[in-house]
């Protein structure tokens, strides 16, 4: 199959590659770029395990062809830690609030939450729940994911975070 | 500051530093998972690796007339296409199941369910493999199919399993019909029948625990790599039980077990889906052996939902007999179990219906009789324990729905009826009518605590008012109060009655203390999100006084880990957790000898103090575990071998019996059928609590899966055996929006036979949650004379209930 030439910026690094027109962005990232953080959980665009950030939007990379990313800026889970390598507020929030179990949904969940907090730095619980409705988690029951995002929002905003009592 | 306060502070600080049992230690795993650095099977990339994909049957039941692979093989990039004809000479076209049946790897002569594996295409990448599956031409001759299990044993039913049609004695005794798998009976039939003949009140209800699927977010997958020169196979896969898989692969392939290296890396959820052995695993292995290069197989979601291991599909005719004032006298249950095309249940060998005989629940029921008939149908095989111990969700659903039906018939409050029949605290260890010995519990206390917490009386009063208002036409909302009080049975299990393929269901831990006092421990279990790397370390930390942060837990590599039966049925804590404690205690005993030598005192003069042995009465004379570790390698006492390590294979003396009291308050819009969970309160007693944060997380997750099962999740088939809705488009997985907010609570009744008193918790919330939701729905409609409403309770079905009752005007 003929291949197309694309230029993408991934986690701040310019990348050039040849891709088949039908190659999905998730396969391009995972198999050609060895960025295996984003996962595949379904075939229908429902689970959000593959979520990455593309040109300041959350994108399900299983529903996007790699060639559609030509010229785009992409952030994956591998690119969200702080520049000094420490965990970002969201990554830390997920760990502190036990917002993950098997970890399979986590990269997509964190990328989605990342965009949510860009759009709405101080979301209510309902806004968080609606905001992550495109991302399924089979393990956590979401309560602690919501707390994790609240933790991160508080940390970013410099406001106090009250840990919910057990 | 006085001396005692100083001592207390010092001890508290030392305890805190350990991050041992009982503390909310943050998870070790999360550092890699939050950075996208987990390593799941599909992340694996090996040089020269090929990719396999299946050609699947569009028919539920059909004869295969011919298979033509020539066009597929001609496609550039395709390396091989395997069919049953290729596997037959190797004897690999069928594989043994854990339930004593055989299962087709690639369909031989006929297909028995839609999406059954017919051919395996191996190509250079997943896109080409997928293309090639469409070029394999299979000619089928459709046969009449059986979808309804009640039609499986009709005299004129089509015979499904022609391969075993003359075998009238199966793995679990005589078969009554070619489509019959087994009949399993337990309890005293005569005594039970007598009780029913004499009882004041009896109820009988057909309770269906419908077919569903565990659907972890990561599907099943494997990578096989065969080294032709060494004759060794390495198999990475989504295995909840990697050691068992190694044994199965050895039995199937004939490769000696020591030349098979099975590795279960990070697993993206399991919930029972990843216990069994699947055609994809076998085909990746065969592909790699034949071709000499690594072969990867990754299920897509449709394949996952429609082929690998469904759960439930139990049709339970449930009866209770009671006095008119509500004392339950007996229970009688007949189950028709739909196992699909092959009996591939993942149960311990002697338990064809799992632990269904826990169905007398939390109640002191004097006599009971249970019969389970398993049948073949033209559906996918499985019957796995979806986030529960073997068939325990089914059992608890039966008793917890039935008791509500009885309450209604008696005109009694459902909580009061439960209180009246609970096994009393002083009756433990309690011998149930169907053969179990419940280890410990205080049901009345737990129930009372839960009722107080939820404000049960006030809720019933509110409900009574709402019902009146509904009758007066002032509201279109129905209020339901769901209760469930469950007793689980987990931690399989004692060798006397639990084995898999003849291997007793022990589990294991191997702990090695390094000279500098840090630790590696290897386990026979395998986490799929439960946080084992965190919690096992907490057990060791408390037992040995070494900070959890200095302890590394390793699982999933069969070369290094001791043999274990794996993680499912909430067995990790009850079995491997016990092994961990016992192994640690062996080390501690040796450490005491070394400490005595170092301190030049008699062993008996020493006492343990958090992280050290100290001389009794002389607390300033002590040796910490770290110091002891160094000595163990460099200056052990004479006649004592150097080193500090131990291994334990723990065979539990009994199961453990976690329990809990759950309450759900639900409001249902009668006109739309939309049900809203207003409150859900879960009180769990899992014995000793190792990490409360992780326990809470497990409860949240289990409740969410219970919510899904009860309120909409289903694998459904049409009359032709077409599987309906095997994608996330149709299969209900709740998002953060639908999922209720969970309230959790607990009591602690340690297991008396477990070294640290822990019972296991991962599955309780699912087991208790499903009937709680269903009871809430049923309770909402009960006063309208709805009768038992079958699950799942999605809006469409609830709207139909309103329609049937003439509530829509
Ligand atoms: S993989 Fe499920 S939405 Fe992309
Ligand atoms: S943590 Fe397992 S799917 Fe979310």
Q: Is the pLDDT of residue A163 over 80?
A: no
Contact A145 B736 (CB under 8 A): yes
Separation in Å, CA of B770 to nearest CA in chain A: 15
What's the confidence (pLDDT) of residue B1? 67
Residues of B with active-site annotation: 240, 387-388, 763
- Assess whether B353 and B447 both reside in one domain: yes
Nearest Cα residue to atom 2 of ligand 2: A102
Separation in Å, CA of B641 to nearest CA in chain A: 41
Per-residue pLDDT of A47-105, as tens digits, reads 999 999 999 999 999 999 999 999 999 999 999 999 999 999 999 999 999 999 999 99
Hunting for tokens 């597929």 — which residue is that? B72
Per-residue pLDDT of B316-355, as tens digits, reads 999 999 999 999 999 999 999 999 999 999 889 899 999 9
Q: Rounded to the nearest 5°, which phi and psi values hold at B549?
A: -65, -15
Nearest partner of A80 among A65, A58, A98, judged by Cα: A58
Domain over A4-79 is classified CATH 3.10.20.30: yes
Residues ≥6 apart with Cβ < 8 Å to A61: A24, A25, A26, A29, A38, A50, A51, A52, A54
Would you tell me how many other CB atoms lie within 10 Å of the CB of residue B581? 23
Per-residue pLDDT of B94-137, as tens digits, reads 999 989 999 999 999 999 999 999 999 999 999 999 999 999 99
Domain annotation covers residue B91: yes
**Contact (Cβ atoms closer than 8 angstroms) between residue B78 and residue B144:** no
- Assess whether B685 and B729 both reside in one domain: yes
Residues with CB under 6 A from ligand 1: A 40-42, 45-50, 60, 62
Tokens of B574: 């009850």
Q: Is the pLDDT of residue B725 over 90?
A: no
- Assess whether B243 and B104 both reside in one domain: yes
Nearest partner of B674 among B804, B809, B789, B777, judged by Cα: B777
How would residue A165 be classed by pLDDT, with cut points 50, 70 and 90? very low
- Assess whether B348 and B482 both reside in one domain: yes
Q: What percent of chain A has pLDDT over 90?
A: 95
Q: Ligand 2 mean position to B385 CA, how many Å?
A: 19
Nearest ligand by distance to the CA of A61: 1
Separation in Å, CA of A68 to nearest CA in chain B: 18
Q: Is the CB of A136 under 6 A from ligand 2?
A: no
Domain annotation covers residue B206: no
CB-nearest partner of B701 from A81, A141, A146: A141
B151-174: buried (b, 16+ CB within 10 Å) or exposed (e) per residue? ebbeeebbebbeebeeeeebbbee
Nearest Cα residue to atom 3 of ligand 1: A45
Q: How far apart are CA B224 and CA B14, in angstroms?
A: 47
Q: Which CATH superfamily is domain A89-157 in?
A: [2Fe-2S]-binding domain (1.10.150.120)
Q: Is the CB of A153 under 6 A from ligand 2?
A: no
Tokens of A166: 């057990």
Q: What percent of chain B has pLDDT over 90?
A: 95
Q: Is the CB of A100 under 6 A from ligand 2?
A: yes
- Assess whether B462 and B537 both reside in one domain: no
Q: What is the mean pLDDT of residues B140-160?
A: 98
What's the confidence (pLDDT) of residue B449? 98
B352-390: buried (b, 16+ CB within 10 Å) or exposed (e) per residue? bbbbbbbbbbbbbbebbbbbbbbbbbbbbbbbbbbbbbb
Contact A94 B34 (CB under 8 A): yes
Q: How far apart are CA B496 and CA B498, in angstroms?
A: 6
Separation in Å, CA of B505 to nearest CA in chain A: 25
Q: Residue ranges per domain, chain A?
A: 4-79, 89-157
Ligand 2 atom with least separation from CA of A138 = 3
Contact B700 A144 (CB under 8 A): yes
- Residues 23..82 of A with a Cβ closer than 8 Å to B: which? 23, 27, 30-31, 34-44, 46-47, 49, 76-78, 81
Domain annotation covers residue B601: yes
CB-nearest partner of A139 from B32, B701, B739: B701
Contact B700 A142 (CB under 8 A): yes
Q: Ligand 2 mean position to B268 CA, how many Å?
A: 7
Helix, strand, coil content of chain A in percent (nearest 5): 35, 15, 50
- Assess whether B461 and B535 both reside in one domain: no
**What is the Cα gyration radius of chain B?**
28
Strands (E), B32-179: 50-56, 62-68, 78-83, 94-96, 102-104, 110-111, 117-123, 137-142, 169-170, 173-174
Contact B36 A78 (CB under 8 A): yes
Nearest ligand by distance to the CA of A39: 1
| Coil, strand or helix at A72 | coil
Q: What is the mean pLDDT of residues B540-547?
A: 98
The count of domains in chain B is 3
Q: Ligand 1 mean position to A35 CA, how many Å?
A: 16
Interface probe, candidates A27, A63, A95, A138, chain B, greatest B C-beta count within 10 A: A138
The range of the structural domain enclosing residue B260 comes to: 41-143+219-267+274-306
- Assess whether B324 and B426 both reside in one domain: yes
Nearest chain B residue to A46, by CA:
B728
Per-residue pLDDT of B380-428, as tens digits, reads 999 999 999 999 999 999 999 999 999 999 999 999 999 999 999 999 9
Peptide bond into B84 cis (omega under 30): no
Interface probe, candidates B23, B736, B740, chain A, greatest A C-beta count within 10 A: B736
Tokens of B63: 């004869």
Q: What is the mean pLDDT of residues B163-169?
A: 94
Establish if B677 touches chain A: CB-CB under 8 angstroms.
Answer: no
What's the confidence (pLDDT) of residue A166? 43
**Can you name the residues that pair with B333 across neighbouring β-strands?**
B318, B370
Domain annotation covers residue B532: yes
Per-residue pLDDT of A118-133, as tens digits, reads 999 999 999 999 999 9
- Assess whether B645 and B661 both reside in one domain: no
Q: Is the pLDDT of residue A148 over 60?
A: yes
Contact B218 A107 (CB under 8 A): no
Q: How far apart are CA B157 and CA B206, in angstroms?
A: 23
CB-nearest partner of A104 from B30, B40, B735: B40
Establish if B634 touches chain A: CB-CB under 8 angstroms.
Answer: no
Q: Ligand 2 mean position to B218 CA, how many Å?
A: 9
Domain boundary at B595, B615, B650, which? B650
- Assess whether B436 and B325 both reside in one domain: yes
Tokens of B628: 């002891």
ipTM > 0.95 (yes/no): yes
| Coil, strand or helix at A28 | helix
Establish if B530 touches chain A: CB-CB under 8 angstroms.
Answer: yes
Establish if B217 touches chain A: CB-CB under 8 angstroms.
Answer: yes
Contact B737 A129 (CB under 8 A): yes
- Assess whether B707 and B793 both reside in one domain: yes
Per-residue pLDDT of B450-501, as tens digits, reads 999 999 999 999 999 999 999 999 999 999 999 999 999 999 989 998 998 8
Interface probe, candidates B33, B221, B296, B532, chain A, greatest A C-beta count within 10 A: B33
**Residue B70: exposed, middle, or buried by beta-carbon count in 10 A (0-12, 13-18, 19+)?**
exposed
- Assess whether B111 and B248 both reside in one domain: yes
Hunting for tokens 């299979």 — which residue is that? B138
- Assess whether B687 and B617 both reside in one domain: no
Q: What is the CATH number of the domain that holds B643?
A: 3.30.365.10
DSSP category for residue A30? I
Residues ≥6 apart with Cβ < 8 Å to B139: B64, B65, B66, B67
How would residue A164 be classed by pLDDT, with cut points 50, 70 and 90? low
What's the confidence (pLDDT) of residue B502? 87
Q: How far apart are CA B519 and CA A159, in angstroms?
A: 39
Q: How far apart are CA B136 and CA B73, in angstroms?
A: 9
Q: What is the CATH number of the domain that holds B290?
A: 3.90.1170.50
Establish if A112 touches chain B: CB-CB under 8 angstroms.
Answer: no
């Amino acid at each position: 199959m003929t291949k197309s030439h694309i230029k993408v910026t991934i986690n701040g690094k310019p990348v050039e590659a040849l891709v088949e027109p039908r190659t999905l962005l998730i396969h391009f990232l995972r198999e050609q770029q060895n960025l295996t953080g984003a996962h595949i959980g379904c075939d229908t665009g429902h689970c959000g395990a593959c979520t990455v950030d593309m040109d300041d939007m959350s994108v399900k990379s299983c529903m996007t062809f790699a060639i559609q990313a030509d010229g785009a800026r992409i952030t994956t889970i591998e690119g969200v830690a702080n520049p000094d390598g420490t965990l970002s507020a969201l990554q830390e929030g997920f760990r502190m609030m036990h917002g993950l179990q098997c970890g399979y949904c986590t990269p997509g969940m964190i990328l989605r939450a990342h965009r949510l907090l860009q759009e709405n730095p101080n979301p209510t619980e309902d806004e968080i729940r609606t905001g992550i409705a495109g991302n399924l988690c089979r393990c956590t029951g979401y309560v602690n994911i919501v707390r994790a995002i609240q933790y991160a929002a508080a940390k970013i905003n410099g406001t106090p975070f009250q840990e919910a009592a057990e | 500051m006085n001396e005692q306060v100083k001592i207390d502070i010092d001890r508290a600080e030392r305890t805190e530093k350990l991050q041992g049992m009982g503390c909310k230690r943050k998870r070790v795993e999360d550092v890699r998972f939050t950075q996208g650095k987990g390593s799941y099977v599909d992340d694996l990339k090996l040089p020269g690796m090929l990719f396999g994909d299946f050609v699947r049957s569009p028919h539920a039941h059909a004869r295969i007339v011919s298979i033509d692979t020539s066009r597929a093989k001609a496609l550039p990039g395709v390396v091989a296409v395997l069919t049953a004809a290729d596997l037959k000479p190797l004897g690999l076209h069928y594989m043994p199941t854990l339930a004593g049946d055989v299962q087709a790897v690639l369909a031989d002569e006929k297909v028995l369910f839609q999406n059954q594996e017919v051919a395996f295409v191996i190509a250079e990448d997943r896109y080409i493999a997928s293309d090639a599956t469409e070029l394999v031409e299979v000619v089928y001759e459709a046969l009449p199919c059986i979808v309804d299990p009640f039609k499986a044993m009709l005299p004129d039913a089509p015979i499904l399993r022609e391969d075993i049609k003359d075998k009238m004695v199966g793995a679990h005794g005589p078969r009554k019909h070619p489509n019959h798998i087994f009949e399993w009976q337990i309890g005293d039939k005569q005594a039970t029948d007598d009780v029913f003949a004499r009882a004041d009140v009896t109820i009988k209800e057909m309770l269906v625990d419908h077919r569903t699927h565990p659907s972890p977010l990561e599907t099943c997958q494997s990578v096989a790599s065969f080294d032709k020169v060494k004759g060794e196979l390495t198999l990475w896969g989504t295995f909840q039980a990697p050691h068992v898989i190694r044994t199965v692969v050895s039995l199937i392939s004939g490769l000696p077990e020591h030349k098979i290296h099975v590795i279960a890396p990070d697993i993206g959820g399991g919930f029972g889906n990843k216990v069994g052995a699947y055609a994809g695993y076998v085909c990746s292995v065969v592909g790699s052996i034949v071709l000499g290069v690594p072969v990867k197989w990754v299920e897509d979601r449709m394949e996952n939902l429609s082929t690998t291991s469904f759960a439930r599909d139990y049709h339970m005719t449930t009866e209770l007999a009671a006095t008119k004032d509500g004392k339950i006298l007996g229970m009688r249950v007949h189950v028709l179990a739909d196992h699909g095309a092959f009996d591939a249940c993942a149960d311990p060998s002697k338990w064809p219906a799992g632990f269904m005989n826990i169905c007398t629940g939390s109640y002191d029921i004097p006599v009971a009789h249970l019969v389970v008939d398993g049948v073949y149908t033209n559906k996918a095989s499985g019957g796995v324990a979806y986030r529960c111990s073997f068939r325990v969700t089914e059992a608890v659903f039966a008793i917890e729905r039935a008791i509500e039906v009885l309450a209604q018939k008696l005109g009694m409050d459902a909580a009061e009826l439960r209180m009246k029949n609970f096994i009393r605290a002083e009756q433990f260890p309690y011998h149930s009518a169907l053969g179990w010995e419940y280890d410990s519990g205080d049901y009345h206390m737990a129930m009372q605590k839960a009722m107080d917490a939820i404000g049960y009386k006030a809720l019933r009063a509110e409900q009574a008012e709402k019902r009146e208002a509904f009758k007066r036409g002032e509201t279109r909302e129905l209020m339901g109060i769901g209760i469930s009080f469950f007793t689980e049975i987990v931690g399989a299990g004692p060798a006397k009655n639990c084995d898999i393929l003849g291997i007793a269901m022990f589990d294991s831990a191997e702990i090695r203390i390094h000279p500098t006092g840090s630790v590696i421990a290897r386990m026979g279990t395998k986490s799929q999100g439960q946080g084992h790397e965190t919690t096992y370390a907490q057990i060791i930390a408390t037992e040995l006084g070494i900070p959890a942060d200095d302890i590394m837990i390793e699982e999933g590599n069969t070369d290094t880990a001791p043999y274990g039966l794996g993680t499912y049925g909430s067995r990790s804590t009850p079995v491997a957790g016990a092994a961990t404690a016992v192994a640690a205690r062996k080390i501690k005993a040796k450490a005491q000898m070394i400490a005595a030598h170092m301190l030049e005192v008699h062993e008996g003069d020493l006492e343990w103090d958090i992280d050290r042995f100290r001389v009794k009465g002389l607390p300033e004379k002590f040796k910490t575990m770290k110091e002891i570790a160094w000595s163990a390698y460099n200056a052990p006492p004479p006649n004592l071998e150097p080193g500090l390590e131990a291994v334990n294979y723990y065979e539990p003396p009994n199961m453990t019996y976690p329990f809990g009291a759950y309450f759900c308050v639900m409001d249902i819009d009668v006109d739309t059928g939309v049900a809203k969970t207003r409150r859900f309160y879960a009180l769990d007693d899992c014995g000793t609590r190792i990490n409360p944060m992780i326990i809470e997380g497990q409860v949240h997750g289990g409740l969410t899966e219970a919510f899904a099962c009860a309120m909409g999740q289903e694998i459904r088939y049409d009359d032709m055996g077409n599987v309906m809705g095997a994608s996330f488009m149709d299969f209900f997985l709740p998002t953060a929006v639908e999922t209720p907010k969970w309230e959790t609570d607990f009591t602690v009744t340690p297991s008396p036979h477990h070294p640290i008193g822990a019972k296991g918790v991962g599955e309780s919330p699912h087991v208790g949650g499903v009937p709680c939701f269903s009871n809430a729905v049923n309770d909402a409609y009960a006063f309208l004379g709805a009768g038992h409403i079958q699950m799942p309770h999605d809006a469409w079905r609830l709207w139909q209930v309103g329609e049937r009752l003439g509530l829509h005007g």
